[in-house]
Structure 1
Amino acid sequence: MEPDILLIVLDSLRKDIMELYGGPAKTPNLIKLKEDAVAYENAISPSSWTFPSHVSLFTGLYLNEHKVHETIDHKLLDLTEFNLKLKAERLSENLQRKGYNTIGISNNPMVSTQTAFDQGFDALFMIDPFPISKEDPIFQEARRLGASPKQIALKLLKQGKINKILEFYKWRKREKLVSDVINFPLDKGAEMTNKLLKTANWESKFFRFINFLEVHEPYRNYNSKEVWDNVTGIKPLSQNSMENIRKEYIAEMEYLDQQIGKLVSTLKNAGKYDSTMIIITSDHGQAINEHGYMLHSTYLYDELVRVPLIIKYPNNKKFDKKNGYQNLVYIPKLIEEISQGGDDSAVYSDSTFSEAYGAVIVLPGGYKDKEEYVKQRYEKVRKAVFKDGYKMTVNGTDCTIEEFLQGNKGIKVEDNKEKAKELLEELEIFKGKEDFKIPKI
């Protein structure tokens, strides 16, 4: 029997922050859900940022197959067109064809009708999490001028635009007032999402997709100038800023756990909890300067690609634990197998991969002279392979091995040359005809 399906993406959530996986963020509602679910230990995201990961999640294809990803020549504005032209059937289209009522609610503008993610949805609602729309002309102008109010004011002062400074001050004051009312940035749309779902029709066979943005930056007391100074190599992030970001990241996860608890209660009140397949995962993680890098995309560190995967199967069915890795690209196949009465074998693989194709960094005003630095540091194509407890990340632009890990410990190629060769061979097969340089050892 085909189950009802609830697919939840906790945008930017790394696995190791959650209590469920031994981390510091208290998640009592997810721990309660785990009593009826399976928490997978080796889930990998196919990319380290939102757009290509979501395409992989919905198509079951890696980035080098669906091609909806950044390159040195193609950035954000091109990806919507690539997504629109993609011929592969999406999970939402497949389920819609089977008679499912397909409804999505996204708190991330990157996953919306504007970016062609509405294909196969009866309706895809966008709840803008930001107190002032990013389409607002004043917001656009502010971003061109700088990353902080001080930068903006100084630039306007140099230009002799005193009246403009007052206009920006009023705009910032209004933004602060609106933020306080909607509890931004702690809440980035989750409360409104839950209110919508509480009044939803749960009667017909349904597929519900939700993107929660809470653990994505910005955070409370977030110093964007410090972050951009760090990203552009001007000055490392201060210890205080790192500690604050980590503290707020944990607080966001704890808040999100409360919202997940509300959503589960809505399902139970509708009498749909037992029959529903609930999938909770993330599209990528978040680096908090562990490798001198803040935020996400570009790299394939574990903090960026090891994600949670919690699945409550219909009628709370459990399956025996198996060896191997899980990946978001396996989710469409898993849903198909479960719908046909199968087990969770489809979510496992002996080896799996993650990819990044360069920079998706849009520099704010005041940093335009850093474009060459960003290009030299971040415009690299990377692929990572995971197998037998090992991980290897290769920079195909520079033809170098960037990571060789056994578990979470870095080792030298000389320490296990045979395994290193095996992983490089896996990457050679995986890349296919792509112009990706793999080093010889």
Structure 2
Amino acid sequence: MMKTHVLYVFADQLSMLALNLFGARNRVHTPHIDELGAKGVKFHRSYCVTPQCSPSRSSILTGLYPHKTGVIGNIGTKNTAELDAGLPNLGNILQQRGYRTAYFGKWHLGRAAVTEYGFEATADFQKDDEETTEHVLNFLDEQADVKDHPWLCMVSFNNPHDIYRMAQDKLQGKTLNTSHIILPDNFIDDLSAKPEAQRLFRDEDQGKALQSYGEEDWKYYLAYYYELIERIDRLLGRIITKLKDTGQYEHTLIVFTSDHGDMMAAHRSPFKGPMMYEELVKIPLIYCWEGVLPAGESRYQMTVNADHLPTIIDLLGFEVPEQFDGVSMKESLFKRETAGREYVVMQYYSKQKWINPIRTITDGKHKYSLYSSGEEELYDLAADGSESHNGAYRPDDMEIKKRLQDELRRWMKQYQDPFEQYTRTDRQGQLLEK
């Protein structure tokens, strides 16, 4: 009997808010992602555990929060460990259950060989998406004649992370059509009512090079970002076509997601930094398994990407171990009305030398963030979806804030989160008092 394969595709720095399927403000040409969503189940309240590459990837693989994987920041930053190859992860768990396992593309979890994590087929640390795709296509060709041997193939696209090349390419004369681009409603924000780290990031850190940008320049930023998304869509299309041509598509569970988002000019900010806005923490999530999962349906249960590992294991019919922080979404995939998480917690630790820990909790209606400096944010996501008005210090919102604070403290205690033990630094890495 033919067993189920798993194709797990994730992009780097792809915000949910950039995709047509999830109500993007600007139309992006992504026919293959759109088709996947039309044939699968879309989660509209899908979050990353953290808006940083390495720690988010560690949670995708292990089903654990970053403070448990030890990968609390990007690899190479202070106090951040490389991912322990001894931890159970999607690769070695499925390998132990008879799966051929493969990982192609960006890794960003340490210097150890990817094979040490249970992936027997790999091309370590490849960051060119075209080359990554060729490796995937070759792998799928190799598996085509092995009818009774299931496989897991993780595909890690680097883009649209190359948004960091935007300013240089713009200076060198790269032209883009920006006539159709609309800036976000929250483009104008002086950040005066927001934590100081956000202003420092925008005005003194990675956003500084863009301080002279006018509206047309920011439209260029978005056009550049969308072009990168369209590139990975084309590559995803090639992979799905290969699955169909080799007769493996109907036996494959496909998951499409990303590790975190991008600010996308919201609050006049680029890239990612010490902030937890929806543009940055909401990630696309599509589960497609034709003939098994519902087609073209949407889900509004909250989920975080630590949930992907237990969900995949559960869908494949294996018992889900209890050690995961993530929970299986299997029931939600099949039943629209199933209750999901009551809230989602997210973490942030550092940006290079700059350590500025944050904890965020959302119940889907409100979102509360606590910075290690003691600064706070509170947003009414229904009334203020652009997160323009910080209600953390508004008397009328104190009851809501206290409820979310209490839930966050309870969660940190239950999951042994060391947030209150962390120290913070300035942008140069010098220690600061709390």
TM-score by shorter chain over 0.5: yes
Q: Deviation of residue 33 (structure 1)?
A: 2.0
Which of 118, 121, 127 in structure 2 is aligned with 1:120?
118
Structure-to-structure mapping, 1:300-319, within 5 angstroms: 300-313=276-289, 315-318=291-294
Matches within 5 A, 1:238-249: 238-239=213-214, 240-249=216-225
Aligned equivalents of 2:109, 2:248: Cα separation in 1:
26
Amino acid at match of 1:56: S
The reply to whether residue 29 of structure 1 matches residue 29 of structure 2 is no
Bigger radius of gyration among the two: 1
1:328 to 285, 305, 326: 305
Q: What is the match of residue 283 of structure 1?
A: 259
CA distance in 2, matches of 1:403, 1:199: 50
- With normalisation by structure 1, the TM-score equals 0.72
CA RMSD between the two structures: 3.2
Cα distance in structure 2, aligned partners of 1:435 and 1:126: 32
How far residue 385 of structure 1 moved from its aligned partner, in angstroms, is 0.9
Task: Select the residue among 394, 398, 410 that pairs with 1:429.
Answer: 410
Aligned residue number for residue 199 of structure 1? 141
Q: How far does the alpha carbon of each residue in 1:13-57 deviate from its partner, in whole angstroms, 9 at most, with x for none?
A: 001111121222122112222232111111000111111111101
Residue in 2 that maps onto 1:406:
381
Which structure 2 residue ranges, 5 or more long, are not aligned? Answer: 172-201, 319-327, 334-339, 422-434
Q: 1:221 to 1:281 in 2, by over 3 A?
A: closer
Determine whether 1:360 maps to 2:352: yes
- Higher mean displacement: 407-416 or 243-252: 407-416
Shift of 1:114: 4.4
Asked whether the 8 Å contact 2:141–2:246 carries over to 1, the reply is no
Describe the SS at the equivalent of 1:287: coil
Do 2:41 and 2:294's aligned partners in 1 also have CA atoms closer than 8 Å?
yes
CA distance in 2, matches of 1:317, 1:235: 44
After superposition, the C-alpha distances for 1:333-357 in whole angstroms (9 at most, x for unaligned) are 1112212299723774221121110
Partners of 2:52 and 2:260 within 8 A in 1: yes
Selected match of 1:208 from 127, 147, 153 = 153
Worse-matched range after superposition: 305-314 or 413-422: 413-422
User: Which digits, 9 at most, give the CA deviation of each residue in 1:221-258, with x for residues without a partner?
Assistant: 53289999752747615134422221011111122212
Q: Tell me the amino acid that sits aligned with residue 156 of structure 2.
A: N
Name the counterpart of 2:47.
44
Q: Which residue of 1 aligns with 2:336?
A: none
| TM superposition shift of 1:110 | 1.6
Partner SS state of residue 315, structure 1: coil
Task: Name the CA shift for 1:360/1:193 in 2 (closer, same or farther; >3 Å).
Answer: farther
Find the aligned partners of 1:291 and 1:354 in 2 and give their Cα distance: 20
- CA displacement, residues 246-294 of structure 1 (integer Å, 9 cap, x when unaligned): 1011111122212111111111111111111100000001123423432
Moved more, 329-338 or 226-235: 226-235
Shift of 1:406: 2.4
Post-superposition offset of 1:100? 0.1
Inter-partner Cα distance in structure 2 for 1:416 and 1:231 = 33
Bigger CA drift: 20-29 or 50-59? 20-29
Structure with bigger helix share is: 1
Long gaps (5+) in structure 1: 131-186, 362-374
Among 230, 240, 243, the alignment partner of 1:254 is 230
The structural deviation recorded for 1:83 is 1.2
Shift in CA distance, 394/382, structure 1 to aligned 2, threshold 3 Å = same
Q: CA deviation at 1:360?
A: 2.5
* Aligned mates of 1:40, 1:55 — CA distance in 2: 21
Distance 1:278 1:82 in 2: 28
Distance 1:343 1:245, change over 3 A: closer
Contact 1:189 1:212 in 2 (8 A): no
Aligned residue runs from structure 1 range 336-415, under 5 A: 336-340=313-317, 344-345=330-331, 348-360=340-352, 375=354, 379-395=355-371, 397-407=372-382, 408=385, 409=387, 410=389, 412-413=391-392, 414-415=395-396
Identity of aligned residues (%): 19
Report the count of equivalent residues: 360
The one-letter amino acid paired with 1:357 is Y
Distance 1:47 1:188, change over 3 A: farther
Query: Matches of 1:111 and 1:36 in 2, distance apart?
Result: 32
Counterpart of 1:66 in structure 2 is: 69
SS of equivalent residue, structure 2 residue 39: coil
Kept after mapping to 1: 8 A contact 2:126/2:132: no
